[in-house]
Structure formats: C-alpha cells, structure tokens
Chain A
Amino acid sequence: MLDSTPAALHTGAMPLLQTVGLTKRYGTFLANEAIDIDIWPQQIHALLGENGAGKSTLVKIIYGLIQPSEGEMRWQGEKMVLSGPSEARSRGIGMVFQHFSLFDNLTVAENVALGLDGKESFKDMSARLEEVSRVYGLPLDPRREVWQLSVGERQRIEIVRALMQNPKFLILDEPTAVLTPQEADQLFTVLDRLKAEGRAILYISHKLEEVKRLCDTATILRGGKKISTCNPKAETAASLARMMVGGEIRQVKAAANRQTTVPRLVVNDLSLAPDDPHGVRLQHISFELKGGEILGIAGVAGNGQDELFAALSGERLAQDPGTIVIDGQAAGHLSITQRRKLGAAFVPEERLGHGTAPRMRLSENALLTGHAASGMVRRGFINTAATLKTVDRTTETFDVRKAKRDPEAASLSGGNLQKFIVGREILRNPAVLVVSQPTWGVDAGAAAVIRQALLDLAASGAAVLVTSQDLDELAEITDRIAVMFHGHLSEPMATSEASREKLGLLMGGSTLEQKEAAHAVGA
C-alpha cells in the first residue's frame, strides 16, 4: 500500500503543496525527519500518528509558525519560504487549531475581526460572516458573546474565521475531539463540500474509523518519520493502527466474572454553584456506584465534568454532607485529605500542575497525595525512604520509563507521567477511584496499560468512576455510562445498550424521550 494513491484521484495537474525532505531539529532531537508529503487540491488528506509522532511540528512548519531546519516547501510547484502565519494566510493556507484562541468576553464578530488581517469595516465583515456561516451551514449569531457558546459553536467560529479568508488549503487539528458524534457528522458534510469546491484539506486525527470514512489519502508519522502514505479506505483500522504504533497494541481484558458488591460511592442530589463566573452549575446529580463496577461519564468538555471532579474530590466542598457518600460515610463536607483517608483516590485530567507539581521530583509528587494515609509522614517529618519506595513500586508495576530513579515530573513523557499518576493512586488500594480523562494525550501502549489497570482495580472490588470524552475508551472499559450536559447527569445505562447515536443525542442535550417523541410524530 506504499505510495499508491491512484493518479486518477488527482484532479489538479500538480500538487498544491509539496514538502520535500522537511526536517526539524531541536538540539539533537529530530521532531521531523525528511518528510515528503504531496497535498492535492480537492482531497482530504489525513495526517495520522500518536502523540509525539511529529504531527504538530509538521503542521506548524506548513503554517509558518516555525521554520524547518532542512528541506523546503513548494506551493503550486514553486519554492515557498513562510515568514509567519500571516504570510501563510495570505497565500491561502488556513488553520483551525485544536485549542481555540477566542476571547470569552467578546462577541463572535469581534473575535473573528481580531483574527482577520483585512481592512474591511466591521459592518461589512459582520455581514460577510453571516453570509459565510449561512452558505456553509455553520449557523452562528455574530452578536453573541463567546462564553455563552458550546464547544461545538466555538469551533464553528474558528472554521468560519478560516473560511472567510477563502483558503485554498485548510488544516484542521483533531477537530472532532470536542464534538458529539452528531456534530462530527455535520462537520464532515461541511468538509465534503469544501473538498468539492476544489480546496485541499489536511485532517489531523487519531480516530481511525473517522479517517477511513472521510479521507482520500493518509500519511502516517511515527517518531518524526513518515512511515507511509496510503489510501485509508483500502486499509483496516487495525492495519492503520499497526503503522501508527509500530507493532500490535495490547488488547485490554476485563475479568470474566467480575462481581459487583455494595455501593461504595453514592451521590445524592448534588447541586453546586460554580466559583468561576463562566463555570457550570452542577444540578441535581445522583448516581450510585458499586464495588467492582466501572461507571463512565461521557460528554463534551465544559459541561460540568471539571466541577463534578472538584466536588467529588473535595477540592470544593458540598453544602450538605450527605450529598456524597464514600463507603457508607457522609463525605460532602470533608476535605480531600479526609476523603483520601476514607479510601478514595483521585486522578485529575491535567497531569502537570494539577496531578503533579511539574518541577518537583517524583518522590515529592508521591508525597503530594500519599501524605494522608501511607506512612510517608511521621510526627510531621517526611519519611523519604517511604516516598522513594512508592516511586520504585509504581515504576516497576506500571512500567514507568524515566532517565533516573527520581526525576522531576515535568521531564517524563505524557504517557509515562500518566502511568505514574494512576499507579501512585492504585497502589494505595483505593476503595473508590475517580479518574478524569485517564488516557488523554497518552500513547497507545501506555493507554492500554492504564485501561487494564483500571479494569484490574475494579476486579479487585473497588468502585471506579471514569470521565472521558473518548467514547471508544468508555465502551472498552465501563459497565455503565451516563452523559453530562449543562451540569445535569443522565440516568446511567448499561454500556452494552449505549449506542453512539444514543450517547450523541444525550451529549447534545436532547433526552431520549424527546427523541422517541420525535419518532412518534414522524411516524
């Protein structure tokens, strides 16, 4: 399948953009090594690879954000040196970033105006904004302030902003990571239309089914090198994954006879006002989680998952002690340390700065959550041997790779640091584990280790609550799934019955009854 894109697919006579031997060096580290890619008009070209494979570096070079160390780019056959993103935009290269650069307190139109280089009046610009969003089916109200909008709507602003410059070539960085399945489908329609208009699209993703369905060509990067350019429709998800990872991915296995026991984490009608004006209010959240069970919480980011984590962990206290019950003890009023003493453990989404202090050593980060209940502190004095032992045990059990025995947290790769953080909590044998985005930005190998560890923990009788935006991950490890939307949590359903369609509807805010009612009316 190597370099076998059929010529018939190419409608243009020559590639729109070519990179020739593009190399980016940071010190001795090669982020990109001699990468050749041809981007053709009227094609959606996927860029596949794990975190750290060099996708972002490559895209930043193409968008003029960084300069290549060696190699060159050719734009419509001619050599191109970009001095910066504004030159890239003026040539017709647009980009939609994964992390939006929007001002929350400004309106949609103001945000778009800030991102444009043109000199047209604000009024003309607003009119054109409405026109573009209408033509492409990306509805937006230019007068609304960004903080009121959903993540999907915010992404629309970024896309419309890019389209208003009428790009010949559009780069999208993991655009569906924050969308519901239905929103993703709408986006695909827009992308197909852009393609039909003769534009080229570079689509960065690691969701293989999506790439197979949408893209005409796929280039796979691994360790900074190009592994292959192929036709994704002619590949299987497994063969694409093999090229990405460079080997077979370990399959996670749930213990066949997992028993659920008594309720270990119970939440009763938890409501909590946000402490940040743009935060989400938690509203009447109730669920019951038994020992031996894994409950997944799905939902688009920013629907109250962070607030729920803070309330469950005790970083923010609930008004009424009885709203959160850990192993039969009312815990709503207890601090995070007291909850840890009851046997709860927590893994936040953000590894650096929340789960760990980045510039402190691993042994100190073991102490960060272990000081309450594991013999690391005696009469106020730190037992350094005990903290180092935790580091060693975690390293051994979870295969944490690091340069020395006790390095700073920030020096570990994302996957290894995540294994350390999850391992640090699991080795304390928690009764309840609350974990947020367990494998976000983690390589496939580490992700498999972490998911297996969560399954094993549940098999040993603990209750595990997993918040994730990755529906495949939830399908793989959970027993039941609930969906979070605008601070409400849906009734949990068995994972075997949770179709993508059902989950997508709940993530978008409709209830299942509404959907059924709509069907009834339609019939």
Chain B
Amino acid sequence: MQLVLEKRAERSNMIALISPLIAIGMTLVTMSILFAILGKNPITALGVYFVDPLTDSYSLQEIAVKATPLVMIAIGLSFCYLANAWNIGAEGQFLIGAVAGSWLAVKTQGTDAGPWVLPAMLLLGAMGGALYALIPAICKVRFGASEILTSLMLVYVADLFLDYLVRGPWRDPKGFNFPTTAEFDPVATVPVLIEGGRLHLGGIIALVAVAAGAVLLGMTIKGFEIRVVGAAPRAARFGGFNSNQLILLTFAISGALAGMAGIIEVAGPVGHLQPGISPGYGFTAIIVAFLGRLNPVGILIAGLFLALTFIGGEQAQIAMKIPLDVTKVFQGILLFFVLACDSLILYRFKLIFASPKVSSGAH
C-alpha cells in the first residue's frame, strides 16, 4: 500500500476555498499539543486566544485596529506575489512610510497649519513607501539582484534610520530623553470613528484598499497582466506584457500601501513616531497574504484572524502566563500549513493498494 500525490486535471475551486481552513485546523491541533507540553490546559488556552477577544467591544475594536495595517500591507504584497515578485521587505516600507509622513507632522508641529496636514501626511507616507520599495525592484530589473535579499536587508536599514531620527534630530525636547517625537498635533492625527473608542479612519481606508484590489485584479487588464506574468512568464511576453514594468508597478503599489499603513499607525493608535511602532506587521502580512489565498476578500478575513492572534496572545500572556513568543510560533506554524495545504489544490492524495514493489530507481 502506498500513498501518492496525483495531479488533478484542473485546479479544484472547492479545495482552494477550504484549504486555508484545513491549515487553520491543523495549526490548532499543533498548538494544543504545544500548550499541553507547556503544562497549560489546551482547551482553556485556545479559549483565551480565540474566543475571549471576541466577547467585549474593546477587544473587537482592537482587532480591527491591528487588522488595518495587516490587510493594507497584505493587499499590496498579494500583487507582488501574484506577479512572481517576492517583496519580503514590507516591514521596511511600512517604517519609511511612517518616517516620511511624520516629517510633515514634526515640521508643522505647533504651527497653525490647517486640516490639509493629515491628507498630505498620508500621501507622503505612500510615496515614501513606494520609493523605498522601488529600490529592490530597480536592482532586480536593472542588475538581476534577488529582490528577496535586497528587500529584506532594507528592512534593517529603515529600522536603524527611524531609530536615528527619534534619538537625534526629531527627539521631543520635553520628552525626558525618551527616543520619541512629540505627540502629533490634532490636525496631524487620524481621527477615531467612535468617540472615546479605538476604531479609526484607517479601518475605512483598509476596506477601500480591499475593494480597489478586488476590482484591479479581477476586472482590469492590468490585474490580468499581473496574474499572467506570475503564472506563465513566457505566455505573458507573448501576450505583449512587460514583466519588468510589472515588477516595478507591483513593488510600487505594495510599497505605497505599506507606507500608508505605516503613517496611519503612527498618526493613529500610536500618536507619535518612536521605535517599535510595528510588532512585525510587515512580516505577519506575508502570512495574511497567503492565508487569504492572494485574494483581496480572503486577505480581509485572514487579516482579522491574524489580528485576533495578536490580541489573544496578549491576553494569554496576562491570564495564563503563556509567553508572547508563542504567538509568533503560532503564526509560523500557520504559514507552514497554509503553503502545505496549497498543494492539495493541484494534487490529490490517493491510496494505492497491492502495487508491485517499486524501487527508488524508478524515476
């Protein structure tokens, strides 16, 4: 008896829908084992992680707040990944976007600048992220440098650059030497949607990004070009689509969305520029993009789910003394299973009984 993977004639749409769910199920089983090894009751731990945050309004808003950057970044990344361009540096583009937008907030601090400041900051954030993303893209197109390495390395450059700014030129003089800018003025702050709540305008912007992404990918010729260039590069060239141009385009879109997410985070929930504004949103968004099957609506759902793990992780740390790093373990295991389950879309498992002996030389 042997278990073989058999190629399907056509991709299975049913499996394409349920494969993320299978992956989540397998992750939960693995996590339960991990909790048991840590000496915690798995049922209680999973309850604290995934059920408790859904029971009060504060946590629900907090999930939406955390999901906002994840969804925005993942939408952009999905364009890159569909086009076979591997942008791993969204974290860096997020930070540079935050820096670029904060520049205006710092410059206009204490002046009587009008309500144009926030829109201009969002624009600057998007531009900063896009330009930063274009560095690895241009290196790839021009010199053939691996965009995976260059985009990843630029994350650390961005991180240190931000660090330098808030410790040096942009440090709040009245900040007791903490590495942070002063609190942004109200005109440079993203407004909350409900008085006294946490939910802010960024949530709406993320939803707009989802809708725009769905339209671009599904209904326009540009979206089609992006999908063909990734799925069949030679056919794309035969179709007259310029793959270099598409690499630049998808990196720019992805950087712009990450950059805008960065400035929204700084001008919204955080309120000032400081190190550690991101708990790894740019990396977690990679998981969100794949868990959402590189589909905008899927990404929205996946983003909310991953945000839940952040909130649940914090609560589990407080309530059960489970280390916060377990959340990262969880996210890693999830990505592993998501990618593994993807093979079921093109292949199916098959048990073969009583087949003759097969040697390894048979290939």
Residues of A within 8 A of B (CB): 27, 64-68, 81, 83-87, 313-315, 335-337, 340, 346, 348, 350, 353-360, 364, 367-369, 371-372, 377, 380-382, 407-408, 410-411
Contact = CB atoms under 8 A, between A and B. Distances in A.
B220 A382 contact: yes
B3 interface: no
B240 A348 contact: no
Contact of B362 (A65, A337, A359, A411): A65
Given A85-B361, A360-B227, A313 B11 contact: no
Contacts of B236: 357
A413 B10 CA distance: 12
A83 B10 contact: no
A381 B220 contact: yes
14 contacts: A67-B358, A86-B361, A87-B361, A350-B234, A353-B232, A356-B232, A357-B228, A360-B227, A367-B221, A380-B221, A382-B220, A408-B10, A410-B9, A410-B10
Nearest to A84: B361
B3 to A, nearest CB: 15
A368 B235 contact: yes
Contact of B221 (A360, A371, A411): A371
A297 B316 CA distance: 72
Closest A-B pairs by Cβ, 7 of them: A84-B361, A337-B240, A357-B232, A83-B359, A368-B239, A336-B240, A357-B235
| Residue picked from B6, B227, B228, B240, most chain A C-beta under 10 Å | B240
A358 B238 contact: no
Contacts of B358: 67, 83
Contacts of B219: 381-382
Given A67-B362, A83-B362, A382-B219, 16 more contacts: A83-B361, A84-B362, A315-B237, A353-B232, A355-B235, A355-B238, A356-B235, A360-B228, A367-B221, A377-B221, A380-B220, A380-B221, A382-B221, A407-B10, A408-B11, A410-B10
A359 B235 CA distance: 11
Contacts of A68: 356
B355 A67 contact: yes
B232 A360 contact: yes
B283 interface: no
Contact of A367 (B6, B224, B238): B224
How big is chain B's contact interface, by range? 20 to 34
B5 interface: no
A87 B357 CA distance: 13
A360 B237 contact: no
Contacts of B359: 83-84
A360 B228 CA distance: 8
B113 to A, nearest CB: 37
A346 B238 CA distance: 9
Contacts of A84: 359-362
Contacts of A27: 6
Contacts of A358: 232
Contacts of A359: 11, 231-232
Nearest to B218: A382
B239 A371 contact: yes
B81 to A, nearest CB: 15
A411 B8 CA distance: 9
A346 B228 CA distance: 18
A364 B237 CA distance: 15
A313 B234 CA distance: 13
A265 B301 CA distance: 54
Given A380-B222, A408-B11, A357 B362 contact: no
Contacts of A83: 357-359, 361-362
B345 to A, nearest CB: 10
A425 B170 CA distance: 62
Interface string B175-198: 000000000000000000000000
Contacts of A346: 238
A411 B238 contact: no
Contacts of A411: 9-10
B238 A313 contact: yes
Contacts of B228: 357, 360, 364, 368
Contacts of B227: 360
Contacts of B10: 407-408, 410-411
A369 B238 contact: yes
Nearest to B357: A83
B238 A360 contact: no
B304 to A, nearest CB: 29
A81 B355 CA distance: 12
A364 B224 contact: yes
A354 B235 contact: yes
Nearest to A377: B221
Contacts of B220: 380-382
Contacts of B222: 380
Interface string B1-28: 0000010011100000000000000000
Contacts of B238: 313, 315, 336, 346, 348, 354-355, 368-369
Contacts of B234: 350, 353-354
A315 B6 CA distance: 35
B335 to A, nearest CB: 23
A105 to B, nearest CB: 20
Contacts of A64: 362
B221 A369 contact: no
Given A27-B6, A382-B221, A360 B231 contact: yes
A66 B362 contact: yes
A81 B10 CA distance: 34
Contacts of A81: 356-357
Contacts of A407: 10
Contacts of A353: 232, 234-235
A66 B361 CA distance: 10
A27 B348 CA distance: 12
B16 to A, nearest CB: 12
A360 B225 CA distance: 12
B356 A67 contact: yes
Nearest to B237: A315
A28 B234 CA distance: 34
